[in-house]
Structure formats: C-alpha cells, structure tokens
C-alpha cells in the first residue's frame, strides 16, 4: 500500500494493515478495536488505469479538436486576411496587382471586404486617370493660349493676301488661291479647337436652323470631299430649329464630317440624317469605313485618344463637350453592315426664341 494510506489505516484501527496481492488486486486487512471485525481494503490497478484513461482520452480528443479548429481558423480567416494585408501596398500603384482570389471568391464578410477593396481600387484608378487628364488639359490650355496669338495673326494675314491675290490673278491660279484660303481656315479651326478645350467658356446661344448649318459646313468641305472621292447625302426634311452657339456647332459638324471622310481612304459616301421627335432632334453622321474598334468604343471621350496616325484625338472630345454645354449628348456605335455612326442629340427648342 502507499505509505500515506497505511498510516491512515493505522490511525483509524490502531493496527498496521497486512497487505498482499491477490489476482492483480492489492488487499489490506487490519483488525478493528474490538477484535471481532476487520477492515478490508481492495485496490484494483486495472480500474485505476481505466480511470486515468477515462479522463486522459477525452482530454486528448479535445486537444486534437482544438488544434484542428485553430488550423481551420488560420486557413479560412487568418490566411485570406494576411493575403489582403500583403496586397494593400498595391492599392495605389499605377499598374495594380489583382486582389487574391482566396479572399475575393468568398461569400462571407472577408469576401465582401475584398470586393469593396476591389471597387475602391477601380475608383482610385479612375480618379488617377481623371487627374492625369486634367493635368494634360491644363498643359494644353497653357500651350493653346500662348500659341493662339502667334498663329492667328499670321493666318489672318495670309488669308487677307490670298483674297487680294484672288482678285488680281488669272483664272488659272484661282484654284491655288482657294486652296490657300482653305488651309488657312483649317489652321484657324484647329486653333479655335485648342482654345475651346482650354477655356471651356459657356456657349452664347441663339436660335438657328440645324439643316442650314449642315449645308454650310458641307459647302466648305466640298473640295476636300471631292479630292477624297467621298460623296455626301443629306436627309433633313426642311428646317430643324435648335438653340445653339452656331460657331461651335459648325465646329462639331466639321470635326465629325472630317472624321467620316478620313475613315474612307478609298472613297465612299457620308450620310447626314436629321430626325425630329418630342424629345428633340437627333443628327446622325454615317460613314462606310471600318467602324470603331472595341478600344475606341470605350475611350472615344478621352482627349488625345486617336487610332489614326497623326490624329490629335480632340474631335469627338470637343463634340461631346460642346453638346453637353448645349444640354445635349453624343453617342457612337458601329453600323451592322460596316462603318460608324455618330449621333448628336439636341434638346427640344424652348418657346419664345426667334429663328436666327
């Protein structure tokens, strides 16, 4: 017997117990005080071992379960959060890294956080692009303002002398003189585009006939169209009254028609259509070129974006800004049978204005 147990029996009975092993059990016997009875203690080692196993095994199971749960938590929660934490420094990079799929593909709060970060990253890229665009436009404004005076005055002088030559030269040279005037007008139009984009002053509107503005621009472009082998057809059905800044709308029409002409290097036909409705007037310019690329359909509003060699990328940008300033809009699309369509929408004419 253990010494402490033998000592306890001795105090209770006044006798030291006699101990022996019987069949794997420890048996201790001690006479009681009256000598007529005996205290018998039996200790079963097998049951003691079973008792130890009885509490040890559940403890091991609980420990194993706890470790497994901790592993799952680390894999399901800590891992994705760690991946997001490692990704965060990429948030404001010019060429951002994609958000880890292990976080983005989840349908719980971590997945929601990852998708929110992805949306924030997209908006940040858009803001960065707008900031770069604004910086470029500011630079263009400074350049345009400084160049306008240097270009406009010589251009005006050249045109004036061309008109003098037209009156004094023989008929055979009139074509060259007219070409000089046309090229000077192109330079002046280009300067006006720069200044408009740079200054973005509000339009000075009056009531005009859009059909007449179209015809006027087509007359000015007739030599260029003839040289390019391009024909023009106009479908307007009579006056189409709008309230507009005539010079700016003519600039828009010229840009869109020149784009259509340049889209058909082998020649073709440009169609101009006017559609009237309760919501205003739609002007459509259709060409037979190759149409817009997928990238151009996404980026056509961006200043300086052009897929044409030598193009400035201001024509559609200017058209969109001018139409917005007139309360209208511009849309672009491809024709089902080939070619491009540019649609300018003018709002309904307000009552009480006189036709200019």
Q: What is the mean pLDDT of residues 60-81?
A: 62
Query: Rounded to two decimals, what is the model's pTM?
Result: 0.54
**Per residue in 49-66, pLDDT tens?**
555 556 556 666 766 666
At residue 239, the pLDDT reads: 84
Q: Where are the extended beta strands (E) located within the chain?
A: 18-22, 25-31, 38-44, 206-209, 230-235, 241-244, 268-277, 280-286, 329-334, 340-346
Percent of the chain with pLDDT over 70: 57
Q: What integer pLDDT is reported at residue 353 of this predicted model? A: 44
* End-to-end Cα distance, the chain: 124
Residue 355 has pLDDT above 50, yes or no: no
Task: Report, as an integer, the average pLDDT of 190-209.
Answer: 74
For position 307, what pLDDT does the model report? Answer: 76
- Decide if pLDDT at 304 tops 80: no
The domains of the chain, with CATH numbers, are 3-87 (no CATH), 202-346 (3.30.565.10)
Instruction: Single out the residue of 248, 260, 317, 328 nearest to residue 288, CA to CA.
Output: 260
What is the signed CA dihedral for 65, 71, 77, 78, rounded to 10 degrees? 140
Task: Average the pLDDT over 336-350 and give the result.
Answer: 89
Name every residue whose Cβ is closer than 8 Å to that of residue 341 and which is 6 or more positions away in sequence. 284, 285, 286, 332, 333, 334, 335
pLDDT of 228-277, one tens digit each? 999 999 998 888 899 998 888 998 999 899 999 999 999 999 999 999 88
How high is the pLDDT of residue 354? 43
Per-residue pLDDT, 49? 52
Query: Strand pairing of 268-277 and 280-286?
Result: antiparallel
1 pLDDT higher than 60: no
Instruction: Summarize pLDDT for 107-119 with one digit per residue, the tens.
Output: 677 777 777 777 7
CB hemisphere CA count around 184 (13 angstroms): 18
Query: In the block, which residue shows the tokens 């000077």?
Result: 184
Residue 121 clears pLDDT 90, i.e. is over it: no
The pLDDT assigned to 78 comes to: 60
Mean pLDDT value across residues 187-215: 78
What is the band of 74 on the pLDDT scale with cuts at 50, 70, 90? Answer: low
User: Which two three-digit tokens encode residue 165?
Assistant: 């030559």
C-alpha span between 327 and 333 (Å, rounded): 21
Residue 27 reports pLDDT greater than 90? no
Whole-number pLDDT of residue 134: 72
* 165-187 confidence digits (pLDDT tens): 777 766 656 667 777 777 777 77
Alpha-carbon gap, residue 134 to 130, rounded angstroms: 6
3-state secondary structure at position 50: helix
Residues 85 and 100: their CA atoms lie apart, in Å, by 10
């Amino acid at each position: 017997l253990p010494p402490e147990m033998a000592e306890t029996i001795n105090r209770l009975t006044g006798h030291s117990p006699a101990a022996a092993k019987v069949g794997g059990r420890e048996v201790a016997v001690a006479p009681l005080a009256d000598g007529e009875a005996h205290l018998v203690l039996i200790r079963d080692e097998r049951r003691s071992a079973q008792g130890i196993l009885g509490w040890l095994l559940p403890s091991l199971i609980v420990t194993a379960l706890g470790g497994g749960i901790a592993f799952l938590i680390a894999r399901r929660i800590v891992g994705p959060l760690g991946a997001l934490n490692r990704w965060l420094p990429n948030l404001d990079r010019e060429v951002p890294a994609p958000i880890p799929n292990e976080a983005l593909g989840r349908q719980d709060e971590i997945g929601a956080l990852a998708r929110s970060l992805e949306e924030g990253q997209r908006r940040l890229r858009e803001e960065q692009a707008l900031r770069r665009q604004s910086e470029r436009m500011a630079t263009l404004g400074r350049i345009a303002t400084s160049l306008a005076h240097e270009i406009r005055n010589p251009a005006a002088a050249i045109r004036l002398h061309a008109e003098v030559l037209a009156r004094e030269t023989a008929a055979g040279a009139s074509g060259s003189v007219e070409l000089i005037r046309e090229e000077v007008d192109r330079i002046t139009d280009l300067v006006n585009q720069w200044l408009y984009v740079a200054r973005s002053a509000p339009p000075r509107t009056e009531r005009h006939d859009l059909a007449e503005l179209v015809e006027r621009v087509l007359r000015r472009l007739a030599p260029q169209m003839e040289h390019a082998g391009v024909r023009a057809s106009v479908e307007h059905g009579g006056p189409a009254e709008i309230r507009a800044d005539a010079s700016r709308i003519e600039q828009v029409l010229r840009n869109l028609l020149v784009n259509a002409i340049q889209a058909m290097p082998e020649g073709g036909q440009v169609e101009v259509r006017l559609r009237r409705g309760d919501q205003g007037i739609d002007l459509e310019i259709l060409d037979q070129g190759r149409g817009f690329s997928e990238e151009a359909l996404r980026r056509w509003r961006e200043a300086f974006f052009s897929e044409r060699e030598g193009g400035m990328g201001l024509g559609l940008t200017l058209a969109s800004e001018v139409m917005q300033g007139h309360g209208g809009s511009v849309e672009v699309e491809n024709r089902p049978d080939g070619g491009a369509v540019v649609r300018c929408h003018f709002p309904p004419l307000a009552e009480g204005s006189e036709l200019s």
